[in-house]
Amino acid sequence: MNFQYRVEIVDENMEISKGIYKLSLSGKFKGVPGQFYMLKTYGLNPLLPRPISIHDIHENKISFLYSVVGEGTKFLSQLRKGEQLQILGPLGKGFNVENIKGKAAIISGGIGIAPMLYLSKNLKVSTLHLYAGFRDEVYGIDDMKKYTDKIYLTTENGNTGVKGYITEIFNPSSYDIVLCCGPEKMMMKTVKLCKEYNVPIFVSMEKHMACGIGACLVCTCKTKNGNRRTCKDGPVFLGEDVIWDA
C-alpha cells in the first residue's frame, strides 16, 4: 500500500461557487482518479478527518473540490493559505482507467463532479461525454471542457442547461461504459437506467468514514458479494454489485 500521513500547508482555499470550495496544496502527490484523501484541520474539533476525492493532480500540486455540508467541511472551508492541514492518502480503489475503453459517459450529480476532472484527464477513451446535474449554480465544468467531447447540463431551477434532473436527460444506450458519482438516489437511478440498456457502469460511493484505511468498518457498502469497505474496497464499485440503502 502506498498511502501516507503528512502535514501540509494550504496553498489556496477559495469558494468557487456558493458553498463549494477548491483547496490546493503544493508538492508531489500520488493518486489515481476516484481515490481520495482524508483531510483534517488541526485540533480535536472536529474530531475526525473528512474523506475528500482527488479533484486534480499536477506535477507539483493537488486540489480538492468539496461542498460544505456539515461541521467538518465548514472547518475545512475556513482554512486560510499558510495554515496546516493533516492529510492521509491516497486511499481506496479508484477507477481502473486502463480497462475503460470505447465511447464513455461520465454522469455526475452536484459535488459528484469533484473526481471527474482528474478522471476525464486520465481516460483513454475514443469519445467522452459529460452529463452534469446541479441544484442551481453550475461549477467545476470549465476545466473539463478540453477533456470532453460534449457536455450536457441540467439544473433543478433551470438557470443553466435543461431544467430537471440529469438522470432525466441521460440515455445510456449509445455508450460502452458509464462512470458515475453523485447523491445515492441519483446513482441508484443511473445504475437502473444502465441495466435496462445493459451498459456497464462504475459508481463512486460516498459514506461517512472514520479511519479511511479499512480498519473500523463504519463505511460499509452492502454489495452482492457481501459487505465491502467503501474506503478500502471502494469507493469505486461496479454499479450492479451495489445494494442500495436509499
Partner 1 sequence: MLNVNIAGVNFKNPIIAASGTFGFGQEYSSLYNVSKLGAITTKGLTLHPREGNNGLRIYETPGGMLNSVGLQNPGVIRFIDEELPRMKRLGTKIIANFGGCTIDEYIKGIELLNQTDVDMIELNISCPNVKYGGMAFGVKSSIAYQVVREAKSCCKKPLMVKLSPNAEDIVDMAFRCCEGGADALSLVNTFKAMEIDIHKRKPVFENIYAGLSGPAIKPVALRMVYDVSKAVNIPVVGMGGITSAKDAIQFIMAGAHAVQIGTANFIKPDICLDILSGIQEFMEKEGIKDISEIRGIA
Annotation: binding site for FAD: 50-53, 72-73
Which of 14, 217, 224, 240 forms a contact with partner 1 (CB under 8 A)? Answer: 217
Which of 14, 16, 47, 69 forms a contact with partner 1 (CB under 8 A)? Answer: 47
Q: How far is CA 218 from the centre of its chain?
A: 19
**Does the protein bind partner 1 through residue 164 (CB under 8 A)?**
no
Q: What character string, x for contact with partner 1 (CB under 8 A) and - otherwise, covers 14-43?
A: --------------------------x---
| CB closer to partner 1 out of 56 and 233 | 233
Which of 153, 162, 210, 238 forms a contact with partner 1 (CB under 8 A)? Answer: 210
The answer to whether the beta carbons of residues 176 and 103 sit under 8 Å apart is yes
| CB closer to partner 1 out of 156 and 245 | 245
CA contacts within 13 A on the Cβ side of 80: 0
Give, for 24, the enclosing helix (H) or strand (E): strand 20-26
The answer to whether the beta carbons of residues 85 and 8 sit under 8 Å apart is yes
DSSP 149-197: SEEEEEESSSSSSEES-HHHH--GGG-SEEEEES-HHHHHHHHHHHHHT
Give, for 116, the enclosing helix (H) or strand (E): helix 116-122
Residue with cell 445515492: 184
Number of residues that bind partner 1 (CB under 8 A): 33
Q: Which residues are annotated as a binding site?
A: 50-53, 72-73, 211, 216, 219, 231
| Amino acid at residue number 9 | I
The CB-of-16 to partner 1 minimum distance in angstroms stands at 26
3-class SS shares of the chain: helix, strand, coil, % to 5 = 20, 40, 40
**Does the protein bind partner 1 through residue 185 (CB under 8 A)?**
no
Q: Which residues are annotated as a binding site for [2Fe-2S] cluster?
A: 211, 216, 219, 231
Q: What character string, x for contact with partner 1 (CB under 8 A) and - otherwise, covers 55-94?
A: ----------------xx-------------x-x------
Which of 232, 238, 241, 244 forms a contact with partner 1 (CB under 8 A)? Answer: 232
107 strand-pairing partners:
131, 180
The CB-of-3 to partner 1 minimum distance in angstroms stands at 7
The CB-of-228 to partner 1 minimum distance in angstroms stands at 11
- Strand 50-58 to strand 36-40: parallel, antiparallel, or no bridges (unpaired)? antiparallel
Which of 9, 16, 69, 215 forms a contact with partner 1 (CB under 8 A)? Answer: 215
SS3 label, residue 111? helix
Interface contacts to partner 1, rule CB under 8 A: 1, 3-5, 40, 44-49, 71-72, 86, 88, 208-220, 222, 226-227, 232, 245
